[in-house]
Amino acid sequence: MGDTQKLGLDDIVEILKAAGEPTRLRLLALLSHGDLTVTDLTDILGQSQPRISRHLKLLAEAALIDRYQEGAWAFFRLSQGGAAVALARGLLDAIDPADAVFARDDERLRALKKVRADKAQAYFSRNAAEWDVVRRLHVSEAEVEAKLAELIGTAPVDAFLDLGTGTGRILQLFEGLYRRGVGVDASRDMLAVARANLDRAGITKASIRHGDIFNLPLERDEFDVVTIHQVLHFLDEPEAAISEAARMLAPGGRLAIIDLAPHALERLRDEHAHIRLGFSHQTMSEWLEKAGLAVEEVVDLKPAHSEEDALTVTIWLARDQRAEAADAIAIRRRS
């Protein structure tokens, strides 16, 4: 799954020019460790915002870094693919971590990430009690994750998308599966938690994005696996979210939905903002098929306790059918 594209002389020279300046090389080294804002970078490097912005612009023009907007903030990171960044990674691999300048940058980056982690943990601590109440009603997360991992399998994929990423747990769970991961959430507080968790886990190949699940800030037909974990019951229009998720799938890609089976706990509407009280197999299958996906597996996970308020978690795994359709057309043409 590595980059096989070759570069001409002029392209190589331009990339080396972009990377071969002290501040820009330091920026590349920092951005190889995850998402950072201009403010983050000015704090670490001790340079003015206009100067940092100018260097970032040159790196972006050379296709070495990605830029994306999150409200009033712009985040930057080392590009996840392409021949240009493959060349740049060779330069970064040659850096001596004991070099005084790079070592100081790394120390400041770690200090910044600690502040970020502390803020995220404070938010999580304030809200964890609410989530834990609901979690106690259904099967354990460990059991859900184990079954989800079994259904998705171990075959490597190029691009992985987690919608409503929350704490970033799914990106951590499947970190060994994908070359490039993206998590999207509408809550900036939760995005801070997710970024802190990815930092703590040392995961640099996944990025976190602020976005609307009904209108994603991403290119269509881009992802091999998309997950929606315990999100749809909070939405007024879950069918529309499924349609948008299906739009993100590459031909033959798979969508995994993890949510609650139908239940009668009306208090979850008022106490935990649930809009839908679970989803039946039939309803979800109809929505998936309408979105152009074929349902491959449906698994119900029931809690060990049998109290009246016990909730069942269901996993639906569906696949985009365009690859199969294209293969069928090719076979008919050959026959």
Task: Provide the pLDDT confidence category of residue 83 given band limits of 50, 70 and 90.
Answer: confident
pLDDT at 134: 64
pTM for the whole structure: 0.72
Residue 333: per-residue pLDDT: 45
Contact between 265 and 277 under an 8 Å Cβ cutoff? The reply is yes
What is the percent of the chain with per-residue pLDDT over 90, rounded to a whole number? 56
pLDDT in tens, 157-189: 999 999 999 889 999 999 999 999 999 998 888
Backbone phi, psi, residue 256, to 5°: -115, 125
Question: Rounded mean pLDDT of 317-324?
Answer: 86
Amino acid at 31: L
Over residues 19-48, the mean pLDDT reads: 92
What does the alpha-carbon distance between residue 242 and residue 304 come to, in Å, rounded to a whole number? 30
Does the structure show a pLDDT above 90 at 319? yes
Is there a contact between 216 and 181 (Cβ–Cβ < 8 Å)?
Answer: no
**Segment holding 158, helix H or strand E:** strand 157-163
> Which residue did the predictor score with more confidence, 65 or 125?
65
Q: For residues 303 and 305, what is the distance between their CA atoms, to the nearest angstrom? A: 5
pLDDT digits (tens, 9 = 90+) for 225-236: 999 999 999 887
Strand, coil or helix: 67: strand
| Res 274: pLDDT | 81
Specify the pLDDT at position 330.
46
| pLDDT tens-place string over residues 253-306 | 999 999 999 988 888 877 777 888 899 999 999 999 999 999 999 999 988 766
Is residue 52 classed as helix, strand or coil in its secondary structure? helix
**Which CATH number is associated with domain 131-333?**
3.40.50.150
**CATH topology agreement for domains 9-95 and 131-333:** no
Across the beta sheet with 65-70, what order do the strands follow?
36-37, 73-78, 65-70
How is the chain split into domains, by residue range?
9-95, 131-333
Cα separation of 141 and 139, whole Å? 7
Would the pLDDT of 197 be above 70?
A: yes
Per-residue pLDDT of 1-18, as tens digits, reads: 444 578 889 888 988 988
Is 214 within 8 Å of 241 (Cβ atoms)? yes
Comparing 224 with 12, which gets the higher pLDDT? 224
Confidence at residue 261, expressed as pLDDT on a 0 to 100 scale: 93
Q: How confident is the model at residue 156 (pLDDT cuts 50, 70, 90)?
A: very high
Please determine, for residue 120, whether its predicted confidence score (pLDDT) is greater than 80.
Answer: no
- Phi, psi (degrees; rounded to nearest 5) at 230: 50, 50
Q: Is the pLDDT of residue 86 over 50?
A: yes
Q: Quick one: which H or E segment has residue 129?
A: helix 100-135
Nearest 5°: CA angle at 200, between 194 and 206? 55
Name every residue whose Cβ is closer than 8 Å to that of residue 134 and which is 6 or more positions away in sequence: 268, 272
Q: Can you name the CATH fold of 9-95?
A: Arc Repressor Mutant, subunit A (1.10.10)
Q: Average pLDDT, whole number, for the chain?
A: 87
Name the token pair of 332: 């008919």
- Say how far apart CA 309 and CA 284 lie, in whole Å: 22
**Stretch among 11-15, 26-30, 204-208 having the lowest mean pLDDT:** 11-15
pLDDT of residue 131: 62
Strand, helix or coil at 325?
Answer: helix
